[in-house]
């Protein structure tokens, strides 16, 4: 979404980048080398549908190849354009660097409204797009590994993986050519929920440090915090679900394409999701106040605002009216550069997109590693871990018995302790660790450098430093 009188999405990303590099001491020229997008491939292809040939336009942009493969989703939406995929590819470079996923940045998109097509038609279109990209190595396990994004999911990734495998019948690593696949087609447990889960872990880490809370004027924990979510797609839904069901947050507002729902006492996220599934939108949902113009809820009083849909939704027209003291950018680029300035002035704390939604690519990284190692995480260790834990429990029991049963080992402890970690637990543990470490690296820069006004700039500084170090190490 391009907002009138404001820089484009890519220009916004560049402005934020420039603000950060002004504080860095990069060798002449390196700054530009990192900022610019290396290449963008545009393809137009025809598919025979409903008795006529329809032409589609798609893109795959490669922002930086300081590490390979390059990584980033493929989005299916009518608004897809070159500026947008380039901005998103740049964000992927910084995102991967920040969370130490060993990839360069890329992004793709197809200009299409997927809702206008039957499943079998979408399959043909997706396969044809995948063919066009794969034959130029823009889908490739060691060169370029796409993933889901807006308008795409497990189903499209399975088609892409299969298309690549058909074109590369002897490639033993073919399944690693794309991530976000269904479990039965080489996917990993926990990938679907990963971005939303990452948002939850990011907020938990935020609430661990009183200095961060103080900057936003918040106290306590996530428990009881009023949260407004824009977009109840995969990311917004999982974030809202986990925050309300596991951390005690109250989802007071949900904004969707056809309006917004508000309930001061908290909305039942699963019920809203089920309603949307059945009725196509939030209109008519009981137990909430409905407003046709959902965007008014962006300006509603709350503790945490989670834009989890499109870019540019908080812009010069509404930034000054946003009341949330804390915004976490679950979407990519929801706040324009101009709005970012206004919010910073107001003291709003923003947990930036390149960090906040990095859970997706982090678990994609685990999936890619799983595919290359051809074995599920935990398969070798799980039972061995359980038998070692059994030894400890037996020994505790023996000691307790020898002391006349003065101490008892509770059943619930035994159950929890004895169970070895399965793939989902390992994925969550790896994601939690990644989100904590990345947050801590931003936090250190934010609090300790004195000249860094916000977390976004801190994120850029950490990320650009890592990309620059890669270039310095390997040469250009």
Q: What are the angstrom distances between the C-alpha of 423 and each of 346, 367, 426?
A: 43, 11, 5
How far apart CA 378 and CA 170 sit, in angstroms, is 28
In the bound complex, what is the minimum distance in angstroms from residue 332's beta carbon to ligand GLU?
6
Minimal distance, residue 248 CB to ligand GLU, in Å: 28
Q: Report how far residue 199's alpha carbon sits from residue 270's, in angstroms, rounded to the nearest whole number.
A: 18
Q: Which of 24, 394, 436 lies closest to 208 in space, CA to CA?
A: 436
Bridge-partner residues for 314, per DSSP? Answer: 335
Q: Which is nearer to ligand GLU, 88 or 269 (CB)?
A: 88
Parallel, antiparallel, or unpaired: how do β-strands 39-49 and 304-307 relate? unpaired
Which of 252, 357 has the CB closer to ligand GLU? 357
Q: Which residues are catalytic?
A: 107
Number of H helices, E strands in the chain: 16, 13
Q: What is the dihedral of CA 447, 450, 455, 456, to 10 degrees?
A: -160
Measured from the CB of residue 311, what is the shortest distance to ligand GLU in angstroms?
11
Nearer to ligand GLU, 127 or 181 (CB): 181
**Neighbouring residues of 253: CB distance < 8 A, sequence distance ≥ 6:** 227, 228, 229, 260, 261, 262, 263, 267, 297, 300, 302
Q: How many CB atoms lie within 10 A of CB 395?
A: 10
Q: Helix H segments across 229-268?
A: 234-247
Nearer to ligand GLU, 148 or 260 (CB): 148
Alpha carbon distance 36, 10 (integer Å) = 10
Residue ranges that bind ligand GLU, judged by CB under 6 A: 71-73, 147, 149, 179, 332, 357, 360-361, 364
Among the residues of 59-118, which ranges form H helices? 82-98
String of DSSP letters for 103-124: -EEEEEEEE--GGGS-HHHHHH
Closest C-alpha to 318, from 337, 342, 302: 342
CB-closest chain residue to ligand GLU: 73
**Total residue length of the chain:** 476
Shortest approach of ligand GLU to residue 157 CB, angstroms?
10
Distance of closest approach, residue 165 Cβ to ligand GLU, in angstroms: 19
Residue 71 or 250: the one with the smaller Cβ distance to ligand GLU is 71
- The residue among 252 and 336 lying less far from ligand GLU, judged by its C-beta, is 336
Q: How far is the CB of 158 from ligand GLU (least distance, A)?
A: 15
């Amino acid at each position: 979404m391009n907002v009138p009188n404001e820089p484009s999405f890519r220009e916004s990303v560049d402005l934020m980048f420039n603000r950060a590099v002004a504080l860095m001491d990069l060798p002449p020229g390196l700054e530009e080398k990192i900022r610019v997008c290396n290449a963008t491939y545009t393809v137009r292809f025809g598919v025979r549908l409903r008795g006529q040939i329809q032409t589609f336009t798609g893109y795959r942009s490669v922002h930086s190849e300081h590490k390979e493969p390059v990584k980033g989703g493929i989005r299916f939406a009518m608004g897809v354009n070159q500026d947008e995929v380039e901005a998103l590819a740049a964000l992927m470079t910084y995102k991967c660097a920040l969370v130490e996923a060993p990839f360069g940045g890329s992004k793709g998109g197809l200009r299409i409204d997927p809702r206008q097509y039957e499943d079998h038609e979408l399959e043909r279109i997706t396969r044809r797009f995948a063919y066009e990209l794969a034959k130029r190595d823009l889908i490739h396990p060691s060169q370029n590994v796409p993933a889901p994004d807006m308008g795409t999911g497990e189903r499209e990734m399975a088609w892409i993986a299969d298309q690549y495998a058909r074109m590369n019948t002897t490639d033993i690593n073919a399944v690693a050519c794309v991530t976000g696949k269904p479990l039965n087609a080489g996917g990993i447990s926990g990938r679907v929920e990963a971005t939303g889960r990452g948002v939850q872990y990011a907020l938990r880490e935020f609430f661990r440090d009183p200095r961060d809370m103080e900057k936003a004027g918040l106290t306590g924990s996530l428990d009881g915090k009023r949260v407004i979510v824009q977009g109840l797609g995969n990311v917004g839904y999982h974030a809202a679900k986990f925050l309300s069901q596991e951390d005690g947050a109250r989802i007071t507002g949900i904004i969707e394409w056809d309006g917004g729902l508000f309930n001061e006492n908290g909305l039942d996220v699963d019920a809203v999701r089920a309603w949307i599934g059945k009725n196509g939108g939030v209109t008519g949902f009981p137990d909430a106040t409905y407003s046709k113009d959902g965007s008014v809820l962006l300006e509603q009083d709350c503790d945490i605002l989670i834009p989890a849909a499109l870019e540019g939704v908080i812009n010069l027209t509404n930034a000054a009216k946003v009341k949330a003291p804390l915004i976490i950018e679950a979407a990519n680029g929801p706040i324009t550069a101009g709005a970012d300035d206004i919010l910073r002035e107001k003291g709003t704390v923003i947990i930036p997109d390149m960090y906040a939604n990095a859970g997706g690519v982090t678990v994609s990284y685990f999936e890619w590693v799983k595919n290359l190692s051809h074995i599920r995480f935990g398969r070798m260790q799980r039972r061995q871990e359980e038998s070692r834990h059994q030894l400890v429990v037996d020994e505790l029991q023996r000691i307790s018995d020898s002391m006349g049963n003065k101490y008892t080992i509770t059943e619930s402890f035994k159950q929890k302790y004895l169970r070895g970690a399965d793939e989902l637990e390992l994925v969550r543990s790896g994601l939690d660790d990644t989100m904590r470490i990345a947050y801590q690296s931003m936090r250190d820069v934010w609090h300790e450098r004195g000249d860094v006004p916000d977390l976004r700039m801190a994120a850029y500084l950490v990320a650009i430093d890592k990309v620059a170090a890669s270039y310095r190490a390997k040469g250009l």
